[in-house]
Amino acid sequence: MKDIELKLENLNIRPHEIIKARIQVNYPGRYDGVVVNTQILNSNQLIMYRSYNNKTISQNVSRLFINRNDMPQNSAEFTASIEFDPKETHEVKFRASIIQEHKEIESVILFAKLVV
């Protein structure tokens, strides 16, 4: 079992659709929270995070930090969206990292496709 796991509901992402994902932390030590970074490869565009654990995110954020106190059973669900219309297919890199005292302890990377 990995220290951190990241799963997307669908690995084929369409513009303006809600992306749903789940993070599970199995790390036995202390940690402050989890940060999720996303990069749309070969693009300057960003993913916008919309909610985590059913809490709406009111600002446009392109990096998501979830405090451990907001992660019952060391898990979290989040939603995001891509709000531009791509002219070609792009790979989308999701990276979730366990953070303790401003340091990354462990991370996981997952790739999806942004389809036209």
| 4-114 topology per CATH | Immunoglobulin-like (2.60.40)
**pTM of this prediction?**
0.92
Q: Which of 65, 92, 78, 100 is nearest to 7 (CA)?
A: 78
Q: pLDDT for 30-88, tens place per residue?
A: 999 999 999 999 999 999 999 999 999 988 887 999 999 999 999 999 999 999 999 99
Q: What is the pLDDT of residue 106?
A: 96
Distances (CA, A) of 2 to 23, 27, 28, 36, 74: 12, 8, 11, 17, 13
